[in-house]
């Protein structure tokens, strides 16, 4: 593989991971507080207009980050994950952050997706009680996601720091 392709994949990984992190921050500090200010039909309309788009964006960013991260990891160590433990702080940072990233991505695609479909996010016919239940869940799940993705981001920054020798 040419170094230009590898550089592009690394750039794509960093850009999508950073955008995913930024999206989680926007959800927690902008969208959920804005949703809290609406009541009744306005809250339902806001939820059904904004959150399906946010969910699709998170899907694209999570999948792209995971796929490019897996590709980069394979290029560094092949299939031998044991090599990560032999690479010191860099390897441990990559292993923990990559594992957390994989868990967060799988949670997004399987658990969040199932919950979103079950409660009817994006469906204009959902009941007001369901909207209120979603609102309560949106106060908890994204905060936990932000905690996990912040840990991932900090570990990856640490790994980058170790890789380039600062």
Nearest to 48 by CA among 143, 107, 112, 116: 116
The two structure tokens encoding residue 125: 């016919």
Cβ-proximal residues to 120 (8 Å cutoff; 6+ apart), any chain: 126, 130
Residue 44: exposed, middle, or buried by beta-carbon count in 10 A (0-12, 13-18, 19+)?
A: buried
Using left for φ > 0, alpha for ψ between -120 and 50, and beta otherwise, residue 165 falls in left
What is the number of structural domains in the chain?
1
Q: What are the pLDDT tens digits along the chain (166 aa)?
A: 688 998 999 999 999 999 999 999 999 999 999 988 988 888 888 888 888 889 899 999 999 999 999 999 999 888 788 888 888 888 899 999 999 999 999 998 888 777 766 656 666 677 777 777 777 777 788 899 999 999 999 999 988 876 555 4
Whole-angstrom Cα distance, residue 112 to residue 56? 11
DSSP 122: T
Cβ-proximal residues to 90 (8 Å cutoff; 6+ apart), any chain: 159, 162, 163
Whole-angstrom Cα distance, residue 105 to residue 26? 18
The packing angle between helices 3-26 and 141-164, to 10°, is 150
pTM of the full structure: 0.85
Q: Which domain holds residue 128?
A: 3-164
């Amino acid at each position: 593989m040419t170094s230009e392709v590898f550089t592009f994949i690394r750039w794509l990984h960093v850009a999508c991971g950073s955008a995913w992190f930024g999206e989680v921050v926007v959800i927690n500090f902008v969208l959920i507080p804005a949703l809290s200010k609406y009541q009744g039909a306005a809250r339902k309309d806001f939820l059904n207009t904004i959150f399906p788009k946010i969910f699709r964006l998170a899907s694209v960013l999570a999948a792209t980050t995971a796929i490019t991260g897996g590709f980069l990891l394979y290029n560094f160590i092949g299939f031998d994950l044991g090599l990560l433990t032999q690479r010191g702080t860099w390897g441990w940072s990559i292993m923990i952050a990559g594992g957390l990233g994989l868990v967060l991505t799988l949670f997004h695609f399987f658990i969040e997706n199932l919950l979103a479909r079950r409660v009817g996010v994006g469906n204009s016919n959902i009941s007001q009680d369901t909207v209120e239940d979603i609102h309560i869940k949106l106060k908890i799940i994204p905060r936990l996601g932000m905690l996990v993705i912040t840990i991932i981001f900090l570990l990856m920054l640490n790994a980058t720091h170790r890789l380039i020798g600062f």
